[in-house]
Structure 1
Amino acid sequence: MTRDPWNFHPSCRELAAVDLTGWQVMAADGHVGEVEEHSDATGDAFLVVDAGGWIFGKLLVPAGAVTRIDRDRRTLHLSLSRGRVEDAPPFLPDRHRADQEYREEVANYYWQAGPC
């Protein structure tokens, strides 16, 4: 099966139509932030994560980078370390929906982190 960065992994498909706003996002080694915006549209699913005071900004995370969910704790898990998340391409709000080059850069970065 080919990985698809802009769709949730089949094991996470139950997230379709769930409002993820406010859910926590965890890296493999700790807290990353909170979901501020998201899309579950087929082929265009993503999270915009507010990292708060940790890295002072927001992150665009392709939905395919979510490896596990905890519905009870309203938490999404990534396979990346906090250091890898910190080094991710910056969130560009004016480009995250339509700029294919930017989206490719983001997707490639998250795939380098390992299997999703």
Structure 2
Amino acid sequence: MTGNIWAYRLTVGRLEGTDLVGYAVEAVDGSIGHVDKHSSETDASWIVVDTGPWIFGKEVLLPAGTILRIDTTERKVYVDRTKEQVKNSPEFIRDKHLGDPDYHRSVGGYWGDAPLGRF
């Protein structure tokens, strides 16, 4: 992927001011959980996905650049990565990592280097 991994793509279909909390999140190969928190800061946007029992309650931070599209009718966020990539992503601990620039660099490096999922 080229460009800023922390910026939404122009083709995402996101409506300004849309609250994504509670939206289901779909990887290219199935459901991965729901949005627990999100940020829409310019060039620093992300969603926190609560994976529930799928990977033992792990939360993951996905940069906005991994989002393929947002469907406000279905209340779903589609990402262009696989379940395995999400499972293997850097661990997210809310109290430790939210706002930590070193963690954000690590996550950005992981997702920026991870190949796009197959459609």
| Same-fold call, TM cutoff 0.5 | yes
Quote the residue 2:15 is aligned against.
15
Question: Per the alignment, do residues 42 and 95 of structure 1 end up closer, same or farther by CA in structure 2, a change over 3 Å counting?
Answer: farther
Structure 2, unaligned runs of 5 or more: none
User: Using a 3 Å threshold, how does the CA distance of structure 1 residues 100 and 48 change in structure 2: closer, same or farther?
Assistant: same
Partner of 2:72: 71
Counterpart residue type for residue 39 of structure 1: S
- 1:5 is matched with which residue? 5
Question: In structure 1, what is the equivalent of residue 100 of structure 2?
Answer: 99
How many angstroms does 1:5 deviate by?
1.7
3-state DSSP class of the match of 1:98? coil
| Separation in structure 2 between the aligned mates of residue 80 and residue 9 of structure 1, nearest angstrom | 15
Q: Can you give the 5+ residue segments of structure 1 that lack an aligned partner in the other structure?
A: none
RMSD: 1.8
Letter in 2 for 1:33: G
Identity across matched positions, percent: 35
Number of residues paired by the alignment? 115
Matching of residue 31 in structure 1 with residue 31 in structure 2: yes
TM-score relative to the length of structure 2: 0.86
1:54 is matched with 54
